[in-house]
């Protein structure tokens, strides 16, 4: 139990730091649209957002496929949806902050970078991003949708697509038109890039399937320890502790 807590204590800073440092790879540059100080917490919130969405996808399939409905209940899914709406709102707030600050800064390059995102040749990617990340996750305010497994499944896939497009928008729109106008071009993905996309998805799902094949999917040790705490009243009856 102790060691679990310790591992969690180590894993948390890791989760935060990984995406923060990835974001600082972008933000340390001076490319307009990339050089914003909000990137570290924004990327972390986005990572948690897409991570929970991916967990929802896998969770709903796994519980059906392996018959775990009694252990992974609907209230688990509902609670994870609450985290999705929270992180989705944080991501939406970050979008609004970036947009406002791009205008507020008065720097013409930032102005252009954000106008280009919304109205330039990649406006469709930007709209997909906003639609899939912001609009769809806000639907989770409705309790009926939060509890619905079918809706959650489709929403989680939509959110993952949205987050992929967020990375696409950040990278491509800032790179294809930066300071030197003579270098402006359009991004033409080759078969290698598609291969990488499909390949990395494949690696991820292979690893996941191997995991659930080899290891127990649910840690009964932890589940049992949680199930006990319902009826402990040590405060009032310290001496007559019944077991």
Partner 1 sequence: MLQAVRKLLDNKETITDVLSPFPVHGLDETLSIKRSRIPVGGFIFGALGAILAFGFQAWVFTVSYPLIIGGKPFFSIPTFIPITFEVTVLFAGLSMVTAFLIRSRLKPDISFKPLDERITDDRFVILVDTADKELTLNRVKSLLSGIHTLEIR
Partner 2 sequence: MDEQFDFKKKYRNILIILMTGGILVSLAVILISKPGASRIWANVLLNNQYFIGLSLGAAFFLAVHRVAQSGWHTLLQRLPDAMTTFLPVAFILMLLIYFGIHNLYSWTDKNLSDKVIEGKRAWLNIPFFFARLVFYFAGWIALTSMIRKNSNTLMTSSDLKYHNRKILFSGLFLVFYGITVSASSWDWIMSLDAHWYSTLFGWYVLIGMFVTSLAFITLLIWFLKRLGYLKYIRPDHIHDMAILIFAFSIFWTYQWYAQYELIWYGHLPEETSYYITRLHHFKIIFFINLGINFSVPFFGLITINSKRQIGWVAIIAAIVLMGHWIDYWLMIMPATAGDKAGIGVLEVCMTLFYASLFIFIVLRSLSTGPLVIKNDPYIEESLNYES
Tokens of 46: 């986005």
User: CA-CA distances (angstroms) from residue 61 to 72, 133, 140, 163, 207?
Assistant: 11, 22, 20, 21, 16
Residues 198-237 that bind partner 2 (CB under 8 A): 232-235
Nearest distance from C-beta of residue 81 to partner 2, angstroms: 13
Contact present, 84 and 159 (Cβ < 8 Å) = yes
Binding mask 140-179 for partner 2 (x = CB under 8 A): ----------------------------------------
Nearer to partner 1 among residue 18 and residue 196 (C-beta): 18
Q: Under the criterion CB under 8 A, does residue 1 sit at the interface with partner 1?
A: yes
Nearest distance from C-beta of residue 96 to partner 2, angstroms: 7
Q: Under the criterion CB under 8 A, does residue 21 sit at the interface with partner 1?
A: yes
Tokens of 198: 């499909």
Q: Under the criterion CB under 8 A, does residue 107 sit at the interface with partner 2?
A: yes
Q: Which of 55, 80, 89, 147 binds partner 2 (CB under 8 A)?
A: 89
Number of residues in the chain: 243
The span from the CA of 37 to the CA of 133, in Å, is 21
The span from the CA of 159 to the CA of 140, in Å, is 12
Considering only CA atoms, which of 191, 120, 150 is closest in space to residue 60?
150
The DSSP letter of residue 170 is I
Radius of gyration of the chain from its Cα atoms, rounded to whole angstroms: 22
Angle ∠(152,79,2) on CA atoms, nearest 5: 130
39 makes contact, choosing from partner 1, partner 2, none, with CB < 5 to 8 Å by partner type, with partner 2
Tokens of 229: 């705490």
Q: Which of 19, 39, 87, 91 binds partner 2 (CB under 8 A)?
A: 39
Q: Which of 15, 28, 206, 219 binds partner 2 (CB under 8 A)?
A: 28
Contact residues for partner 1 (CB under 8 A)?
1-3, 6-7, 10, 13-14, 17, 21, 24, 220-222, 224-225, 228-229, 232, 234, 241-243
Contact residues for partner 2 (CB under 8 A)?
13, 16, 20, 24, 27-30, 35-41, 82, 86, 89-90, 93-94, 96-98, 100-101, 104-107, 232-235
């Amino acid at each position: 139990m102790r060691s679990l807590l310790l591992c969690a204590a180590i894993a948390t800073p890791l989760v935060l730091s990984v995406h923060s440092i990835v974001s600082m790879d972008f933000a340390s540059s001076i490319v307009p649209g990339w050089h914003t100080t909000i990137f570290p917490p924004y990327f972390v919130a986005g990572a948690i957002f897409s991570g929970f969405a991916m967990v929802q996808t896998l969770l709903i399939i796994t519980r059906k496929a392996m018959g775990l409905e009694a252990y992974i209940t609907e209230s688990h899914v509902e609670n994870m949806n609450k985290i999705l709406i929270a992180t989705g709102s944080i991501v939406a707030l970050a979008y609004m902050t970036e947009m406002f600050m791009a205008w507020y800064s008065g720097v013409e390059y930032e102005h252009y970078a954000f106008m280009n995102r919304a109205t330039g040749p990649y406006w469709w990617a930007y709209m997909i991003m906003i639609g899939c990340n912001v609009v769809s996750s806000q639907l989770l305010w409705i309790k009926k949708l939060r509890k619905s497994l079918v809706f959650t499944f489709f929403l989680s896939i939509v959110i993952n697509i949205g987050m992929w497009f967020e990375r696409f928008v950040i990278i491509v729109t800032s790179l294809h038109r930066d300071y030197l106008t003579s270098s402006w071009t359009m991004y033409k993905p080759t078969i290698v890039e598609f291969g990488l996309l499909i390949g990395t998805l494949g690696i991820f799902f292979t690893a996941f399937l191997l995991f659930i094949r080899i290891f127990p999917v649910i840690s009964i040790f932890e589940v049992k320890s949680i199930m006990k705490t319902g009826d402990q009243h040590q405060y009032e009856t310290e001496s007559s502790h019944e077991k």
